[in-house]
Amino acid sequence: MSFTGAIKGRVRNANDVPMEDVNIVIVAGPNHPDIAAVTGWDGIFVFSGLQPGNYVIRAYSSNRISDDIPVRIVAWKTAFVDIWLETDIVDEEANVVDEI
């Protein structure tokens, strides 16, 4: 029987909008295969089957890279991580159409 845990997270931009197609990579941690995850339309990613211990993950999107994010994995538990990547903030007023 394997005593593993998981990491589940969400990536959003500065406007709190979920970011799709962001690569999440485990850059350090206990012995593990080289694995990466990609966020879905809702900004969600998941790593499962991870040995307990301390990990470091990083998010990559086009020319944006997150800081290193430490995550502690405990057997039978899922650690949840929120990641915000800086992006250009859209001027909300520029998108308003005058109503007649």
Taking the alpha carbons of 28, 30, 32, 37 in that order, is the dihedral positive or negative? negative
* CA gap 46, 41 in Å, rounded: 13
* CA gap 75, 67 in Å, rounded: 25
Q: Which residue has the higher pLDDT, 96 or 20?
A: 20
Buried b (16+ CB within 10 A) or exposed e, 19-37: beebebebeebeeeeeeeb
Taking the alpha carbons of 9, 11, 16, 19 in that order, is the dihedral positive or negative? negative
What digits encode the pLDDT tens for the residues 77-87? Answer: 999 999 998 75
Q: What is the pLDDT of residue 30?
A: 87
The whole-number average pLDDT for the span 29-45 is 88
Tell me the whole-structure pTM to 2 decimals. 0.80
